[in-house]
Structure 1
């Protein structure tokens, strides 16, 4: 709060006239950032492919505002921009005819996947299994040997993200939509 107050040229106590806590301030900041998603043109497609477009937009938002990853770990208090974004996602999902609960889960899990992928991008270069004892971890040893011998794809991160979002949404929405019929 002191850093925010200093950036605004006021005292920390002055901020408490507008927000009751640091948590409230983070909620306002997060809602403001989510407002950037509303400025992006709506996807032409609906359903799963439309949600993939929205998931990419969320991933880009998390890349621009990495600080936004931290407030997502606690309780979320949706402001007007978050409510509008959620409503927009529901409109994109409407043609799937999945139950409302599955649509809510799809939005939450897509957001979670986008944030997790961005969080992982920062640590990807430093992650290593180190030395793997083939006697103790035979499956991991074979998997790593196979991965080392295969040629990398041209765009593995995007392909992985797209495949993960599509797979998650197909599994959740198409299964639930079939069950609801």
Structure 2
């Protein structure tokens, strides 16, 4: 029966076997350190157990599978979003939260993949969702639109958290067959239309634009 429950609903450890030598929090912390250093592929029950100085089988007193571990890892780092930033305007508050979320996703490059594999919400994920809905409470739109807005923030964060390619250049390419591209590159290179110094960056413009379209569209 316990196997059908979410890892967050199950006891910290099984009732059988010797007294545990580690806590679930210790196991998750080691797994996070492995993922931060070498990516999610480096996280296995055997690798985590080796770091803890125990056998892989002992971890099954706390977890039923690697999937359980990934869900615990994701929820643990999502807890880094608290305390949630505050602002009087709901859009401003969510932009601030999105920036903090982006910082968390960049510190833990594996998080996007882990979240995509998650089958449910942990306590930190639920606290995040609850906070977002509280921020959006004064906004007059459907509940569906609010859920969509929260989901899209995470989508934008995941996109911007990816490493950006470096050294991309059109300098060695003949752009004469591509009139629109050539004109755009020439204008950008000339600095004919410099961006205002106080203009929001692309991340903020994207988040604000999506929220405005979903919540006030």
Normalising to structure 1: TM-score of the pair?
A: 0.83
Given that 1:46 and 1:95 are in contact with CA atoms closer than 8 Å, whether structure 2 keeps it comes out as: no
Task: Compare the two structures and name the one with the higher helix fraction.
Answer: 1
Q: CA deviation at 1:77?
A: 2.0
Distance 2:58 2:180 in 1: 59
Given that 2:91 and 2:211 are in contact with CA atoms closer than 8 Å, whether structure 1 keeps it comes out as: yes
Q: CA deviation at 1:75?
A: 4.3
2:176 equivalent among 134, 150, 154: 134
In structure 2, the partner of 1:104 is: 147
* Offset from partner CA, 1:61-103 (integer Å, 9 cap, x none): 1122222122133344211110111000100111112211111
In structure 2, the partner of 1:28 is: 72
**RMSD of aligned C-alpha atoms?**
2.2
In structure 2, the partner of 1:174 is: 216
Moved more, 90-99 or 64-73: 64-73
Distance 2:211 2:174 in 1: 34
* Offset from partner CA, 1:12-53 (integer Å, 9 cap, x none): 222222222222111100001111112x24413242111111
Gaps of 5+ in 2: 1-43
The answer to whether the aligner puts 1:19 opposite 2:63 as a matched pair is yes
* Offset from partner CA, 1:146-172 (integer Å, 9 cap, x none): 22222477688x611111111110011
The answer to whether the aligner puts 1:73 opposite 2:116 as a matched pair is yes
* Greater Rg over alpha carbons, structure: 2
Q: Secondary structure at the match of 2:110?
A: helix
Aligned residue pairs total 170
Alignment CA distance shift 1:132-1:171 (3 Å):
farther
In structure 2, the partner of 1:124 is: 165
Relative contact order (alpha carbons < 8 A, sep ≥ 6): 1 or 2 greater? 1
Q: Secondary structure at the match of 1:34?
A: helix
Gaps of 5+ in 1: 176-181
Distance 1:126 1:84 in 2: 40
